[in-house]
């Protein structure tokens, strides 16, 4: 743990270290009132730190600079902006790298600007350094062993940072930025595919197409089974894998490779609630009406998996409806709104058997058409899942690289 004035370092023993205040200066952001909002100068606020490394200039709010923003409040390329104070402590110490400025930009009073006053630190290297686990841990647990509630200029300036030779800084930054670029491109592909699916759903499941379909109740095309299987394990019962609420809530498809919890059921419960391929499972209860009837489809034959409590199974009647198609249909706004409107409760909401069974859905007359629509949408989902897995691997690889490169366990750029 590094405290104010300490020189103990978790960085490479091969590198010199320095207090951040010796190579940079700091400035708190601009405090402004609601009356200052308007057109004039864009401002980086805490809300802009959620999912970004670089500044999302296109999303920034604007304020009227008159009497609020001084020249010294404006940001420059290679500045860093840190979250100074926020109700969400996980955001405190998160940073954005300012570069490619094309217009005046400032930052809010809940942030701190860092600007290097020495050329011994490459900004691109520092951008990687400050997002490392070592730096994040030193910021979030500074001096006390608990998460800080405010990041002061004193705390930030008292961080001990490494100073590899400049050629090594450049080499490390170049390697890690390659992973950043791959992650960014993969994320953009995922976003594009998700937008594509929304467009496909709009085209295939709503509007004029649906007006030509038959409208039926769920009870006409599915067998509704509401589970009452709890998480209690009893010795004399059958040991099973339980598909629980969050398994359904977080996943569009239920597959064998998922990490289900273990549980136990009676033989009669197994006969009633064991999941079958193409079953559609929905969340029957929730803390908010909007989370009611989130749906997932059993995408393959499962081994010893039983549906848990707070869930309902919609088991398709053969030749009437295709399970993967039903799952997509349930997630369209018009159909999902029926369940939201029917959910009853005050602090917790739930659907009755009749509320689910009587919900109406439009379906093509022929199951073949349902199958073609579902296959098109599920192919899109498969691409997204594959890219999400790839992005996860890239982040995992980069994290390992950061640990190796930023601690000096692996040296690079030594021949420059």
Query: Tell me, what DSSP letter sits at residue 260?
Result: P
The closest alpha carbon to 282, from 271, 267, 292, 272, belongs to 292
CA 213/CA 95 separation, integer angstroms: 52
Q: Distance between CA 252 and CA 194 in Å, rounded?
A: 13
Domain limits, the chain: 16-163, 164-213+367-416, 216-363
CA distance 319 to 201: 23
Q: Do 81 and 98 touch, CB atoms closer than 8 A?
A: yes
CA angle at 28 for the pair 25 and 32, rounded to the nearest 5°: 155
Which neighbouring-strand residues pair with 30? 108
Report how far residue 97's alpha carbon sits from residue 79's, in angstroms, rounded to the nearest whole number. Answer: 6
Domain 164-213+367-416: homologous superfamily in CATH: Bipartite methylase S protein (1.10.287.1120)
pLDDT at 12 (0 to 100):
72
CATH topology for 16-163 is Adenine-n6-DNA-methyltransferase TaqI; Chain A, domain 2 (3.90.220)
Q: CA 169, CA 160: separation in Å to the nearest integer?
A: 16
Helix axes 367-406, 323-330, angle to 10 degrees: 70
Same fold, 16-163 and 164-213+367-416: no
Pairing assessment for the beta strands 111-116 and 61-63 based on DSSP bridges: unpaired
Those residues with Cβ within 8 angstroms of residue 169's Cβ, 6 or more apart along the chain or in another chain: 121, 122, 124, 125
Q: pLDDT tens per residue, the chain (416 residues)?
A: 333 334 445 677 788 999 999 999 999 998 887 667 767 889 999 888 877 777 888 888 888 877 788 899 999 999 999 998 877 777 888 899 999 998 999 999 999 999 999 999 999 999 999 988 888 777 766 544 445 568 889 989 989 899 999 999 999 999 999 999 999 999 999 999 999 998 888 888 876 666 678 899 999 999 999 999 988 888 899 999 999 999 999 999 999 999 999 999 999 999 999 999 999 999 999 988 889 999 999 999 999 999 999 999 999 998 899 999 999 999 998 899 999 999 888 788 999 999 999 999 999 888 899 999 999 998 998 899 899 999 999 999 999 998 888 887 788 866 65
pLDDT at res. 9: 53
For residue 292, give both structure tokens: 């009611």
* Closest C-alpha among 58, 147, 42 to residue 94: 147
pTM attached to this predicted model: 0.74
Q: Which of left, alpha, beta for 293 (phi over 0: left; psi -120 to 50: alpha)?
A: left
> Cα–Cα distance between 341 and 226 in angstroms, integer?
19
Strand 80-83 relative to strand 360-363: parallel, antiparallel, unpaired? unpaired
Does the 216-363 domain belong in CATH 3.90.220.20? yes
Q: 3-class DSSP state for residue 216?
A: strand
Name the β-bridge partners of 285: 350
CA distance 29 to 27: 6
Reading phi first (left if > 0) and then psi (alpha if -120 to 50, else beta), residue 67 is in left
pLDDT for 279: 97
pLDDT value, residue 66: 77
Task: Round to whole Å and give the CA distance between 170 and 116.
Answer: 16
Q: What is the DSSP string of 322-367?
A: -HHHHHHHHTSHHHHHHHHHH-EESSSEE--HHHHHT-EEEE-SSH
Rounded-to-integer distance, Cα 270 and Cα 276, Å: 12
Alpha-carbon distance of 415 to 377, in angstroms, equals 51
Distance CA 37, CA 175 (A): 41
């Amino acid at each position: 743990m590094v405290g104010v004035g300490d020189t103990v370092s978790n960085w490479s023993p091969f590198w010199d270290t320095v207090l951040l205040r010796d190579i940079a200066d700091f400035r708190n952001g601009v405090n402004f009132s609601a009356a200052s909002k308007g057109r004039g100068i864009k401002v980086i606020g805490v809300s802009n730190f959620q999912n970004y490394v670089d500044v999302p200039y296109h999303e920034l709010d604007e304020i009227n600079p008159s009497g609020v923003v001084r020249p010294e409040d404006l940001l420059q390329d290679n500045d860093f902006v840190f979250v100074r104070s926020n109700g969400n402590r996980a955001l405190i110490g998160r940073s954005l790298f300012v570069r490619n400025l094309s217009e005046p930009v400032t930052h809010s009073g809940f942030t701190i600007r860092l600007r290097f006053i020495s050329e011994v630190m490459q900004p691109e290297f520092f951008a990687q350094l400050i997002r490392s686990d070592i730096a994040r841990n030193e910021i979030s647990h500074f001096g006390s062993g608990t998460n800080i509630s405010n990041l002061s200029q004193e705390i930030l300036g008292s961080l001990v940072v490494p100073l590899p030779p400049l050629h090594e800084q450049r080499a490390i930054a170049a390697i890690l930025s390659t992973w950043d670029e791959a992650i960014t491109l993969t994320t953009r592909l995922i976003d594009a595919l998700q937008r594509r699916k929304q467009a496909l759903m709009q085209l295939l499941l709503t509007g004029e197409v649906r007006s030509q379909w038959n409208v039926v109740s769920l009870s006409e095309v599915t067998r509704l089974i509401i589970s009452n299987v709890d998480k209690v394990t009893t010795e004399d019962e059958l040991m099973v894998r339980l598909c629980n609420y969050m398994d359904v809530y977080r996943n569009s498809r239920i597959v064998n490779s998922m990490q289900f919890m273990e549980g136990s059921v009676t033989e009669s419960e197994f006969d009633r609630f064991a999941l079958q391929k193409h079953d559609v499972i929905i969340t029957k209860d929730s803390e908010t009406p909007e989370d009611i009837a989130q749906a997932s489809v059993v995408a393959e034959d499962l081994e010893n998996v039983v549906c848990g409590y707070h869930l309902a199974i919609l088991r398709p009647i053969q030749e009437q409806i295709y399970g993967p198609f039903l799952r997509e249909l349930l997630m369209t706004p018009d159909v999902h709104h029926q369940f939201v409107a029917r959910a009853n409760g005050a602090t917790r909401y739930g659907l009755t058997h009749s509320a689910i069974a009587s919900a109406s859905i439009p379906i093509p007359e022929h199951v073949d058409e349902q199958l073609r629509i579902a296959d098109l949408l599920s192919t899109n989902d498969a691409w997204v899942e594959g890219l999400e897995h790839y992005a996860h691997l890239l982040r995992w690889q980069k994290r390992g690289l950061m640990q190796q490169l930023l601690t000096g366990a692996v040296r690079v750029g030594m021949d420059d």
